Amino acid sequence: MIVSASLALLASIAIAQQGPKPAENTVCPVVGGKVCETSETITVRGRAYRYCRPPCARKLEKNPDKYLNQDGSPKNGKKCGKG
């Protein structure tokens, strides 16, 4: 049991050291506004997301399940298109 807990801890440290996956979204996950490569980002669940306004970042951080699918893709990605 101690060995498996240690391995899990080491795996999480290794993931944390790699940093977040880079942002790929072209629309804000919260309101669907356009974002670009220079937009601010926030890291949620080990993945970076671009957002259009600071209130969107706070909402995404507070309730990611509302805005993100299980695979990390924004729920509004399909309805908003690719920007």
Q: What is the pLDDT of residue 81?
A: 41
pTM exceeds 0.75? no
What pLDDT score was predicted for residue 13? 59
| The predicted structure's pLDDT at residue 2 | 73
pLDDT at 4: 66
CA nearest neighbour of 30 among 39, 22, 19: 39
Q: Per-10-residue mean pLDDT for the chain, 83 residues long?
A: 61 64 94 95 96 96 96 76 41
